[in-house]
Amino acid sequence: MGHPRLAVDGVLLLDGKLLTVIRGHPPFEGMHALPGGMVELGETTESAMVREIEEETGLRVAAEWIVGVYSDPRRDPRGHTVSVAYALRRVEGSPKAGSDAAGVELVDPQDLPAMAFDHARIVRDFLAGGQRFA
C-alpha cells in the first residue's frame, strides 16, 4: 500500500467570510473546499501552504497557527492522506481562481455549503480555536 501522502489545507477569513475554492477536478468536483494541496519533496508544510494558496487563489498569505492534523485514512478517496490545516492571514492580493480551482467563493463560516473531504470539520475546529482530542 505504500505510505500516506502529506497535504496542507488553509483556513482564511476575509472580512468575516471563509475563503473557499470550487473544485475543478474529481474527487468532489464542483464542491466547495478549503484551498490547499500536496506537500512537495524538500518543502516545509508552511511553504507548501503559501505556495498552494497563491496558486489556487492568487493571494499571498502567512500561516498564523495550526488548526489541527487530520489523518483519518478515509478522508480522501484517492488514498491515505494526512493534512496539516493552518489558520492563515492575508499578506496581499485579491482572491481569484487559479490552478485546479473552478472558482473562488467567500462563504459564511457559520453556515457552510456542502464541503469536500473533511473540510467542514476543519472549519468547525478552527472556529473552536483548534483541534481537540477526545
Which burial class, exposed, middle or buried, applies to 40 when counting CB atoms under 10 A from its CB (0-12, 13-18, 19+)? exposed
Chain mean pLDDT for the chain:
95
CATH class of the domain defined by 5-127 = alpha beta
74-90 average pLDDT score: 97
27-40 average pLDDT score: 97
SS3 assignment, position 30: coil
Query: What was the pLDDT predicted at 130?
Result: 87
133, pLDDT greater than 90: no
Query: What was the pLDDT predicted at 1?
Result: 56
102-131 average pLDDT score: 96
Query: What was the pLDDT predicted at 100?
Result: 75
Task: Say how far apart CA 118 and CA 130 lie, in whole Å.
Answer: 15
Query: What was the pLDDT predicted at 75?
Result: 96
Give tens-digit pLDDT for 40-60.
Answer: 999 999 999 999 999 999 999
Give this prediction's pTM: 0.94
Phi and psi for 50 in degrees, rounded to 5? -60, -45
Task: Say how far apart CA 102 and CA 32 lie, in whole Å.
Answer: 10
